[in-house]
Amino acid sequence: MVTNQPIHNHLFEQLLMILAEQGISSQQLFELPELGTFKGRETQTIERAKIPNLLQAAVALTNDPTLMIRLGQRTDITNLGTFGFALMSCATLQEALKLLLRYQSITGPGLSFQTLESDEDIILRTYIEIGNPLQKRLLTELVFSQIVRIAQILTNRVTNQSELRFSHDDASSLQAYKAILSVPTKFNQSHSELVVSKSIIKSKITSSNPVAHVIFQQQCEDLLRGLNRIENFSAAIRRMLIQAGGEFPDINHIAKTLYVSESTLRRRLRNEGTNFRVICDEVRNILARQYLAATELTIAEIASLLNYSEPVSFRRAFVRWNDMTPNKYRHDQRLPKQDN
């Protein structure tokens, strides 16, 4: 089951573990003057806005200039929730990069990316819009260390065909960085960025799963649009069905999950101008069209994934939803796009 506990909570847990390994308790951290107004002493209460202050205080306490790099290397991709599983299901690093750029707002406020391209390389440049200059530096180091770690997890390989460039000057720590990272590092550069060879960006992801990718990407779309908030019952049900993939729970199970009776749920849906069957068909159509466009699954395989006992039943339903057959839809999606 995919959980979406805030990413910064997992980050905080790993930070406390690193401090403990150095003999520093969480109490010592929270007693620092810089955190005098910091109230949350449990991971469940950590506020995202306080993370920059927390990181700065931790570095001051340890006097370790490489702390953020080491913290980033502790990243567990499964702790990124839906976004992490979407990355794991991508086919290549290039596809994962596109996912990062599209859903970068999911990773947190104050962080944005830009990609540039040369003849041989892809350049991923980051911009930190929160915190003081030192905090921006620490966040930049943390983010790039996380990205390098995630790329290594996804491809199950370490490569020197990339380069980290930091705009700040910390050449005295270069050897320490080399001992932690497998990526060559430079300081005092024009921008903070990760330069990756185009040959590496095409690396296949070992956990690639085109079926799961469709589902997780749709969940990311829901997160991006704010549909994960229960603004109404139809939005909540739609999200739950997408997360189910194709083995849809029945309306009674949905009602229990939403803590209402089945009759109340049906009445609420009527008030919203819809019903459970219509929502099921809407979600099946979303998944069907993405399977057809983004995978090589056969019509029979897609029908089975969407819980149709016979492919002919799925074809009939798809024509009813889209006024065309599944094969025609797939063909149209793969035609070269014409410029206007």
> What pLDDT sits at residue 140?
92
Are 140 and 236 part of one and the same domain?
A: no
Burial class (CB in 10 A: 0-12, 13-18, 19+), 334: exposed
pLDDT in tens, 136-145: 899 999 999 9
Are 60 and 156 part of one and the same domain?
A: yes
Question: Which of 201, 220, 246 delimits the end of a domain?
Answer: 201
In whole angstroms, give the CA distance from residue 141 to residue 71: 10
Are 189 and 279 part of one and the same domain?
A: no
Are 93 and 149 part of one and the same domain?
A: yes
Give me the number of domains the chain comprises. Answer: 2
**The overall pTM is greater than 0.75:** no
Are 193 and 269 part of one and the same domain?
A: no
Residue 271: C-alpha distances to residues 156, 232, 253, 274 (Å): 51, 10, 20, 8
Are 44 and 187 part of one and the same domain?
A: yes
Beta pairing partners, 165: 186, 193
Q: Is residue 214 part of a domain?
A: no
- DSSP H helix total and E strand total for the chain: 17, 5
**DSSP assignment, residue 160?**
S
Are 162 and 243 part of one and the same domain?
A: no
Given a contact cutoff of 8 angstroms between Cβ atoms, the answer to whether 300 and 262 are in contact is no
Are 150 and 274 part of one and the same domain?
A: no
Are 166 and 266 part of one and the same domain?
A: no
| CATH number of the domain encompassing residue 292 | 1.10.10.60
Q: Which domain holds residue 166?
A: 7-201
| CATH number of the domain encompassing residue 14 | 3.90.1520.10
Q: Is residue 215 part of a domain?
A: no
Angle at which helices 133-155 and 51-62 pack, to 10 degrees? 90
Q: Is residue 251 part of a domain?
A: yes
Report helix, strand or coil for 323. coil
Reading the block at residue 196, the tokens are: 């990756």
Are 34 and 122 part of one and the same domain?
A: yes
Q: Is residue 211 part of a domain?
A: no
Q: Is residue 314 part of a domain?
A: yes
Are 26 and 168 part of one and the same domain?
A: yes
- Print pLDDT tens along the chain (340 aa): 344 445 566 788 889 899 999 999 888 887 777 665 554 444 444 556 677 888 898 998 998 888 999 999 998 888 877 888 889 999 999 999 988 888 776 666 567 888 998 888 999 998 887 788 898 899 999 999 999 999 989 988 766 678 899 998 876 777 788 788 888 888 889 999 999 988 888 889 999 999 888 888 887 877 666 544 445 788 888 878 887 766 788 999 888 888 788 998 998 888 888 899 999 998 899 889 888 988 889 999 999 989 888 999 999 999 999 989 999 999 888 776 554 4
Are 195 and 265 part of one and the same domain?
A: no
Question: Which of 184, 201, 218 delimits the end of a domain?
Answer: 201
Cα–Cα–Cα angle for 18, 143, 81, rounded to 5 degrees: 80
In whole angstroms, give the CA distance from residue 254 to residue 72: 38
Q: Is residue 207 part of a domain?
A: no
Residue 27: C-alpha distances to residues 16, 19, 51, 200 (Å): 10, 11, 16, 43
Q: Is residue 1 part of a domain?
A: no
Q: Is residue 26 part of a domain?
A: yes
**Residues 269/249/243/293 CA torsion (nearest 10 deg):** -90
Question: Which of 165, 184, 201 delimits the end of a domain?
Answer: 201
Q: Quick count: other Cβ atoms within 10 Å of Cβ 27?
A: 8
